[in-house]
Structure 1
Amino acid sequence: MTLLAVERIKLLSTRSPWWCALTALLLTGGFTALVVSNTSPQFPATVASTQFAYSFGMAVIMVLATLAVTTEYRFGTIRTTFQAVPNRTAALLAKTSVVALIALLIGEVMAFLSWGLSMAIKPEADLALNSTADWLNVAGVGPVCALAAVVAVAVGILVRHSAGAISLVLIYFLAAENLITLIPEIGDDIYKWMPFNVAHKFVTGDGESAGGAAFGQPLSTSTLSPWWALAYFAGFAVIMLVVALATARKRDA
């Protein structure tokens, strides 16, 4: 518990997490307002359309998670941490846990803020959370953001440089997986198992929360069920973290 408290203080005493959280909320809220305000009777607002922009916020959360690690390497404070806590695995696990919890909270606030804002913009639309799919489409954003933050922390531990780690995380998240579909014949089959595509399946399911409307989030091509999709993404995050922890134990700080 002491390690968790220390990591919480170290993280929240700097400005970057607060700016990242604010940026994530403004980005998702702004894009959500733009999308929902342009709905019409032909393309009505749905629960799915309220979360159209969650990936923008998640990208910012991953930047926050990466900086939580690389900033310590940049300023050399990680050496002090490892001197105070010789068990590097315990120290890094505490940091990862704090970052994941903060990412979960930001993700949930981000999702429900977008949903509430949509209800205010289109009060006549049917945006009630009436089904499991509806709840997953909104509340599911938080867990996905938390696991994405774990992946980003792992990349930060492995790369250690802020610019390189952030570039790698954003390029993969925003572009690399989609580019795989361009591989002739097998690209689409490989893409079905890409981690962030699978994670998106947990949020969107098979499109039930879109109410049959075309105006909503693009659906995941994964063949897994939503809960198995979350388990798959969690497994990927754990593997990345294990590799990062093993690497951190073997090399100099």
Structure 2
Amino acid sequence: MNLLAVERIKLFSTRSPWWCALITLALSVGFAAIMAGATEPTDPVTISATQFGASQFGIAVVMVLAALAVTTEYRFNTIRTTFQAVPHRSPALVAKAAVVGLLSLVLGEIAAFGAWGLGVVMRPNDNLGLHTTQDWLNVAGIGPVFALSAVLAVAVGILVRHSAGAIALLLIYYLAVEELVQLIPKIGAHIHEWLPFNVANKFLRGSEVVNGPAPSDSPLSPGWALAYFAGIAIVFLLVALGVAKKRDA
């Protein structure tokens, strides 16, 4: 518990988490307002459309937040003090991942329900009620995906250690690589089915094909999709912990 408290203090004593949190909320709610305002009255807005900002851009900002939580310590050499206090290193890094993940979970839920609530207010005649399990996953599922994305970003931050490099790697992969993989002849579509953020999208949206972001082509069910995404995040974190133990701070 002491490690969690220390990591919480370190995280909230810098400005970047606050700015990233505000940007995430602004993007999530802002895109919901755009979707609700720009769509013709005869064309109903869907629940997943209200989550466009959170599911497409909010995740990117959360990963920036998580990567900075680690790389900033390497940049200013405060990580050395942390490792002197916790020689085994892994507990401190796991505590950091837990704190960042919990913050991202809460931030995701606030962003998702805020965007959905705004959609309900702006489009009261559309069917935006949370009536089915998939409806709830569209909204409440944003928090777990944010949390796991943050853990994955912490792992990448530990491995890369440089802010610019970690952020560039995360954003390029998230915003471009998974889509570009589909262009590989013959095998691209099959590889894309198992890429992490595509699978996470299956958890959020199921097989929905109506208005909103393109659905995932993953063959997994929503429940297994979340488990798969969580497994990838945990594997990356374990690899990062192993590397952190073996190299100099």
Task: Report the TM-score, using the length of structure 1 for normalisation.
Answer: 0.96
* Of 141-150 and 116-125, the range deviating more from structure 2: 116-125
Q: Which residue of 2 aligns with 1:23?
A: 23
TM-fit CA distance, 1:42: 4.1
Q: In structure 2, what is the equivalent of residue 236 of structure 1?
A: 232
2:216 alignment partner, one of 215, 220, 242? 220
Following the alignment from structure 1 to structure 2, what is the Cα–Cα distance between the partners of residues 6 and 53?
32
State the shift of 1:37 in Å: 1.2
Give the whole-Å Cα distance in 2 for the aligned partners of 1:13 and 1:226: 37
Which secondary structure does the structure 2 equivalent of 1:53 belong to? helix
Does the 8 A contact of 2:67 with 2:153 survive in 1? yes
Deviation at 1:251, TM superposition (A): 0.2
**Aligned residue number for residue 205 of structure 1:** 206
Amino acid at match of 1:43: D
SS at match of 1:206: coil
Contact kept, 8 Å, 1:107 with 1:141, in 2: the verdict is: yes
Deviations 1:151-170 (A, max 9, x none): 10000000000000000000
Residue identity in the other structure for 1:172: Y
The match for 2:85 is 84
Residues 14-53 of structure 1 aligned to structure 2 (within 5 Å): 14-53=14-53
Q: Is the 8 A contact 1:48 1:216 kept in 2?
A: yes
| Paired amino acid for 2:52 | F
Q: In structure 1, what is the Cα distance between the partners aligned to 2:246 and 2:36? A: 50
Instruction: Note the C-alpha offset of 1:41.
Output: 4.4
Asked if structure 2 preserves the Cα contact closer than 8 Å seen for 1:45 and 1:215, the reply is yes
Provide the C-alpha distance between the structure 2 equivalents of 1:145 and 1:69, rounded to a whole number of angstroms.
17
Q: How many aligned positions are there?
A: 248
Which residue is 2:119 aligned to? Answer: 118
Note the alpha carbon deviations across 1:39-94, whole angstroms, 9 max, x for none.
Answer: 23442112121112222111000000000000000000000000011120001000
Whether contact under 8 Å (2:31, 2:50) holds in the other structure is no
Distance 2:230 2:212 in 1: 25
Name the amino acid aligned to 2:98.
S
73-82 or 52-61, larger mean C-alpha shift: 52-61
Task: Give the Cα separation in 2 of the matches to 1:30 and 1:218.
Answer: 20
Cα distance in structure 2, aligned partners of 1:81 and 1:163? 22
| Alignment partner, residue 12 of structure 1 | 12
Question: Structure 1 residue runs of 4+, over 4 Å off?
Answer: none
Q: Tell me which residue corresponds to 2:68.
A: 67
* Whole-Å separation in 1 of the counterparts to 2:189 and 2:242: 33
Moved more, 15-24 or 116-125: 116-125
Instruction: Give the aligned residue type for 1:225.
Output: S
Query: For residue 50 of structure 2, what is the amino acid of its counterpart?
Result: T
Distance 2:201 2:125 in 1: 28
Find the aligned partners of 2:120 and 2:193 in 1 and give their Cα distance. 33
% same residue? 62
| Structure 2: 5+ residue stretches without partners | none
Q: Is the 8 A contact 1:204 1:217 kept in 2?
A: no
